């Protein structure tokens, strides 16, 4: 019997886990820290993918990453603008921008729903030229994406400890207190959402280069997948400890999620079913603590009922 | 120092829930004034504080602080020079952030330089925070890395007071800030308040339901009813006033039975 894990599956799960970890980190910023359900994510991921693909196709794989980062931040800026300056409910603001982005993304891709990058230079092909012959060998992609994630995680950790970063954290923790500490919540929400969506955009561009194509529907369900990663990480590492721990947990969650997907694929779950699987993972993970509490209460209730009945019998 | 000029605020105008919370209220505070405010529930005490702090913009009238018109200034701008403490000790601090992080945010009011946006808490900051925390005598200086959510209500309120006065505010608003604490802790927080306010000469407004406090603390006593100030006393007149007198005034001013046992019992 084949073992469930082959080295190549392990490798690609690591690679994808690291790339998608950026989206999980984006949700860590918007959902966990700012306490805002930012639904820009799906469209923003595709935007990063589309922008990344077009610049890569034009022969600028590195500029592609930068541009994806910038356009992602712009998308986040729009969402923030709608909710802070125009009184649009935060969830709705994300949905509106997300919907609008579909057309923008098509425009970016030249009104084609698929862009192929075969034969184009990507950061991965450049990395292969650079690292392929060293001791890293076939692991060059893992080394590259891991390096990117580590650099971003360190930068994020550093940033969240700065005055601005702390102000953003406080905005999600106690908005009242933020205003009375002379911090402008409009500013902190805007910076937070720009930062989160720039990471999502970067992740999209990396995926475009990784799979050498961009597809208009690639972002669909991305927010659920990232949320699943976030929750897996929080379940394992906990949601309380220090910032570095929580950032590490988020990345770990993303990598583990990709392992789960890889195992599912090995066990011949069809690829089309994956979105359902992620939706179930998120629903179960979020519901479990609540249901567990309920069940414990019901158990106590039942025990209490039994005890009362026995006492009535005894007294009778 | 602080001047409220005929400010009015009506909540839910045009509905059955319409409530005129402030009706042409005027008040002038001198530099260094420490005024206590009494008044039954719904008299408009907290609404006046929120109007000063900028939680909402008043419908009519103007607010001046040090001769500057701040009527339309936003809350986070006003908070640079106005400190605001609430009855609920949970309101003034971020529970999932550590004590030192909360203090660092409070310290933001000191400097508006954008270069500070990307600075982290330095060893010097920590020393400064530790010294401040020692003043509380609650042992918080040894728990600076702990999230504020782990502190008791009294500790959190004391910390909030420290944070609000860390950078000396022009005006300090205390909205029954000891009412949710146990008697011993309330006493401690009040003593701390008095010493900080006296030491730095902060102009201060304090809402209380305790008539003794209303007469003993500070240099001026105000009474509110139906959205305006109905009684204002200081100096010799105030010194002669007894709790009984104040209660009578309360009745006369309110024109109704006292609805609040806490007022009578205290």
Say yes or no: A294 and A258 in one domain: no
> Does A184 contact B74 at a Cβ distance shorter than 8 Å?
yes
Nearest Cβ partner for A177 among B74, B83, B93: B93
**How far apart, in whole angstroms, are the C-alpha atoms of residue B116 and residue B104?**
11
| Structure confidence at residue B266 (pLDDT) | 44
pLDDT at B263: 52
E-strand spans in chain A?
Answer: 114-116, 213-215
Judgement on whether residues A130 and A279 belong to the same structural domain of the protein: no
Residues in B 126-155 with any Cβ partner in A closer than 8 A: 147
Q: Are strands B203-207 and B171-175 parallel, antiparallel or unpaired?
A: parallel
Mean per-residue pLDDT pooled into runs of 10, chain B (266 residues): 93 90 93 92 91 94 94 92 91 93 86 72 91 90 93 92 90 93 90 92 93 90 90 88 84 57 48
Q: Structure tokens of A50?
A: 């589309």
Q: How many CB pairs under 8 A join A and B?
A: 84
- How many Cα atoms sit within 13 Å of A70 on the Cβ side? 9
Contact A17, A259 (CB under 8 A): yes
Any A CB within 8 A of B120 CB: yes
| A2 in a structural domain | no
Q: CB–CB of A173 and B94 under 8 A?
A: yes
Q: Does residue A128 fall inside a structural domain?
A: yes
Cα(A180)–Cα(A233) distance, integer angstroms: 33
pLDDT given for residue B74 in this prediction: 92
Q: In chain A, which residues have their Cβ closer than 8 Å to the Cβ of B74?
A: 184
Contact A179 B76 (CB under 8 A): yes
CB within 8 Å of chain B, chain A residues 149-168? 158-159, 161-164, 166-167
Domain that holds residue A291: 274-316
Q: Does the beta-carbon distance from B75 to A180 stay under 8 Å?
A: yes
Closest CA to B79 of A168, A80, A175: A175
A176 contacts B76? CB cut-off 8 A: no
- Are B116 and A179 a contacting pair at CB < 8 A? no
- Residue B5, strand partner residues: B62
A185 located within any domain: yes
Partner residue opposite B108 with nearest CB, options A158, A176, A181: A181
pLDDT at res. A1:
41
Residue A185 shares a structural domain with residue A119: yes
Q: Select the residue of B91, B105, B164 nearest A170 (Cβ to Cβ).
A: B105
Query: Does residue A251 sit in the same domain as residue A278?
Result: no
Inter-residue contact A224 to A257 (CB < 8 Å): no
The total number of structural domains that make up chain A: 2
pTM reported for the whole predicted model? 0.89
Q: Give me the residue from A162, A181, A240 closest to B118, CB to CB.
A: A162
Residue pair B117/B124 in contact (Cβ under 8 Å)? The answer is: no
* CA-CA-CA-CA dihedral for A39, A44, A46, A49, to nearest 10: -150
Fold of B2-13+29-95+152-265: Rossmann fold (3.40.50)
Interchain contact, A173 vs B120, CB within 8 Å: no
Q: Are residues A72 and A88 in the same domain?
A: yes
Distance from CA of B102 to the nearest CA of A (A): 8
State whether A32 and A15 are in the same domain. yes
Q: From first to last of the 316 residues of chain A, give the pLDDT tens digit.
A: 456 668 888 899 999 999 999 999 999 999 999 999 999 999 999 999 999 999 999 999 999 999 999 999 999 999 999 999 999 999 999 999 999 999 999 999 999 999 999 989 999 999 888 887 777 778 899 999 999 999 999 999 999 999 999 999 999 999 888 888 888 999 999 999 999 999 999 999 999 999 999 999 999 989 998 998 998 888 888 777 788 999 999 999 999 999 888 888 888 888 788 778 778 877 887 788 789 899 999 999 999 999 999 988 888 7
Q: How close does chain A come to B176, measured CA to CA in Å?
A: 17
Q: Is residue A223 part of a domain?
A: yes
Chain A closest-CA separation from residue B53 CA (Å): 8
In a domain, A1, yes or no: no
Strands B2-11 and B82-85: unpaired
Please tell me the predicted confidence (pLDDT) of residue A45.
97
On whether both A107 and A237 belong to a single domain, the answer is yes
State whether residue A137 sits within 8 Å of chain B by CB.
no
| B chain contacts of residue A174, beta-carbon cutoff 8 Å | 90-91, 93-95
Task: Examine the domain organization and report whether A127 and A256 are in the same domain.
Answer: yes
Rounded CA separation B144/B130 (Å) = 8
pLDDT of res. A232: 86
Chain B contact set for A163 (CB, 8 A): 104-105, 108, 116-120
ipTM: 0.86
Residues of A in contact with B76 (CB under 8 A): 178-185
In this prediction, residue A204 carries a pLDDT of: 97
Q: Classify residue B241 as exposed, middle or buried by CB count within 10 Å of its CB (0-12, 13-18, 19+).
A: middle
Do B117 and A177 make contact, defined as CB atoms within 8 angstroms?
no
Using the Cβ of B264 and the Cβ atoms of chain A, whether some distance falls under 8 Å is answered with no
A41 and A111, same domain (yes or no): yes
Inter-helix orientation angle A163-173/A185-211, to 10°: 100
Is B120 in contact with A169 (Cβ distance < 8 A)? no
Domain with residue A183: its CATH number is 1.10.3470
Nearest to A182 among B97, B109, B119 (CB): B109
Q: How far apart are CA B133 and CA B141, in angstroms?
A: 5
Quick check: B121 contacting A, CB < 8 Å? yes
Identify whether residues A246 and A301 lie together within a single domain. no
Per-residue pLDDT at B107: 85
- Give the DSSP letter of residue A134: S
Residues A280 and A180 in one domain: no
Q: What is the pLDDT of residue A240?
A: 74
């Amino acid at each position: 019997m084949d073992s469930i894990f082959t080295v190549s599956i392990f490798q690609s799960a690591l690679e994808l886990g690291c790339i998608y970890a950026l989206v999980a980190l984006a949700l860590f910023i918007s959902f966990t820290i700012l306490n805002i359900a930012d639904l820009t994510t799906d469209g923003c991921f595709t935007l990063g993918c589309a922008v990344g693909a077009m610049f890569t196709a034009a022969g600028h794989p590195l500029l592609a990453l930068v541009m994806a980062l910038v356009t992602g931040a712009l998308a986040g800026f729009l969402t923030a603008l709608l909710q802070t300056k125009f009184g649009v409910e935060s969830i709705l603001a994300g949905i509106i921008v997300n919907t609008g982005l579909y057309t923008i993304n098509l425009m970016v891709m030249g009104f084609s729903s698929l862009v192929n990058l075969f034969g184009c230079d990507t950061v991965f092909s450049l990395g292969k030229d650079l690292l392929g012959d060293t001791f890293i060998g076939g692991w060059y992609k893992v080394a590259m994406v891991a390096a990117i994630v580590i650099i971003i995680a360190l930068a994020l950790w550093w940033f969240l400890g700065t005055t601005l970063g702390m102000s953003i954290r406080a905005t999600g923790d106690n908005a009242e207190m933020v205003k009375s500490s002379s911090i402008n919540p409009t500013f902190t929400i805007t910076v937070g959402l720009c930062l989160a969506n720039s990471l999502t955009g970067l992740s999209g561009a990396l995926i475009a280069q990784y799979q050498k194509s961009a597809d208009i529907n690639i972002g669909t369900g991305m927010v659920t997948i990232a949320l699943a990663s976030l929750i897996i990480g929080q379940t394992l590492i906990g949601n309380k400890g220090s910032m570095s721990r929580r950032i590490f947990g988020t990345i770990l969650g993303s990598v583990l999620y990709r392992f789960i997907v890889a195992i599912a694929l090995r066990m011949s779950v069809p690829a089309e079913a994956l979105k359902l699987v992620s939706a179930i993972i998120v629903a179960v993970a979020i519901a479990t603590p609540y249901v567990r509490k309920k069940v414990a209460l019901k158990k106590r209730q039942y025990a209490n009922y039994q005890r009362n009945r026995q006492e009535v019998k005894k007294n009778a | 120092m602080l001047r409220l000029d005929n400010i009015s605020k009506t909540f839910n105008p045009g509905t059955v829930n319409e409530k005129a919370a402030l009706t042409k209220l005027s008040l002038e505070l001198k530099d260094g004034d420490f005024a206590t405010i009494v008044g039954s529930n719904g008299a408009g005490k907290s609404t006046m504080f929120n109007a000063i702090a900028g939680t909402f913009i008043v419908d009519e009238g103007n607010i001046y602080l040090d001769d500057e018109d701040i009527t339309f200034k936003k809350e986070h701008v006003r908070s640079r020079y106005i400190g605001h403490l609430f009855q609920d000790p949970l309101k003034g601090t971020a529970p999932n952030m550590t004590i030192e992080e909360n203090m660092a945010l409070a310290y933001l009011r000191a400097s508006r330089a954008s270069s500070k946006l990307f600075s982290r808490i330095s060893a010097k900051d920590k020393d400064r925070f530790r010294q401040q925390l020692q003043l509380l005598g609650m042992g918080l200086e040894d728990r600076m890395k702990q999230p504020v959510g782990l502190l008791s209500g009294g500790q959190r309120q004391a910390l909030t007071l420290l944070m609000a006065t860390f950078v000396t505010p022009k005006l300090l608003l205390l909205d029954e800030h000891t009412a949710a604490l146990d008697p011993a802790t309330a006493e401690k927080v009040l003593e701390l308040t008095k010493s900080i306010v006296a030491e730095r000469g902060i102009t201060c407004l304090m809402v209380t339901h305790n008539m003794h406090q209303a007469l003993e603390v500070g240099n001026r006593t105000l009474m509110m009813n139906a959205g305006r100030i109905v009684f204002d006393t200081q100096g010799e007149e105030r010194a002669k006033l007894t709790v009984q007198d104040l209660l009578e005034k309360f009745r006369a001013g309110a024109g109704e039975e006292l609805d609040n046992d806490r007022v009578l019992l205290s």
